[in-house]
Structure formats: structure tokens, C-alpha cells
């Protein structure tokens, strides 16, 4: 099984909005729907909130047969309000190609 990890900054001053708009939607009343989207994309997602001296990051991991394709399917099926939130909270335009993805530099099982 392959894995993809992505770190996405939360824009300054947007942490509380991120928690109410994104986190509450993903883990609250829409969790079943959120889980189904990941299942249909063929990935198991984990999300981490990382505090740094320069602000907060959301670290996402996607595991599956083709996690990059799965992430693409998730992005392609975002509701319009979530796409708007991605721009307002992360500066991420989901309609544009993603920024360069991280490079795997160490794997203890490889």
C-alpha cells in the first residue's frame, strides 16, 4: 500500500475558522459523507493539526493503491463551499494544479 503526505498551511488568523468550517464538517454531522468520499477515492485519510512557531499546518496522509489519484478524486468532488473555504483558509485553489508534492526521503520498511 502506498502513502502520500501533504502539509497545508492554515493562513494567519484563520485557525478558529478552520476548526469551525473544515474540522467540524469533516468530523461532525458530515463524517459519514466525508468517509464515503475517501472510500470511493480508494484512500484512507488521516489528518493532523501541527502547531509551529510560524503558524499551524494541516498534515494529511492518504494511504491506498494510488493515493495521488485518490487525492485528485477527493479534490474533484469537493462541494463548492469547501472549495471556497480551501481558498479562504489555506490559500489553496482546488481548481489549479497542486503545488509540488513532498518527496519521500526515508522509509523504515524500504
pLDDT tens for 38-75 read 999 999 999 999 999 999 999 999 999 999 999 989 98
Longest dimension (CA), the chain: 40
- Backbone φ and ψ for 98, nearest 5 degrees, come out as -70, 155
Please indicate, yes or no, if residue 101 is contained in any of the structural domains. Answer: no
Q: Looking at residue 79, which CATH number applies to its domain?
A: 3.30.70
Total-model pTM: 0.88
Please indicate, yes or no, if residue 24 is contained in any of the structural domains. Answer: yes
Query: Which helix (H) or strand (E) covers residue 63, if one does?
Result: strand 55-64
Range(s) of the domain holding residue 17: 2-90
Judged by DSSP in three states, 26 sits in helix
Give the C-alpha separation, 56 to 49, whole Å: 7
Amino acid at each position: 500500500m502506498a502513502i502520500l503526505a501533504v502539509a497545508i498551511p492554515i493562513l494567519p488568523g484563520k485557525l478558529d475558522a478552520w476548526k469551525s468550517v473544515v474540522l467540524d464538517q469533516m468530523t461532525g454531522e458530515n463524517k459519514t459523507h466525508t468517509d464515503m468520499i475517501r472510500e470511493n477515492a480508494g484512500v484512507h485519510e488521516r489528518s493532523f493539526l501541527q502547531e509551529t512557531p510560524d503558524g499551524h499546518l494541516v498534515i494529511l496522509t492518504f494511504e491506498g493503491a494510488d493515493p495521488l489519484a485518490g487525492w485528485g478524486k477527493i479534490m474533484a468532488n469537493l462541494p463548492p463551499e469547501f472549495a471556497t473555504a480551501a481558498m479562504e483558509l489555506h490559500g489553496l485553489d482546488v481548481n489549479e494544479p497542486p503545488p509540488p508534492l513532498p518527496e519521500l526521503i526515508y522509509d523504515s520498511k524500504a
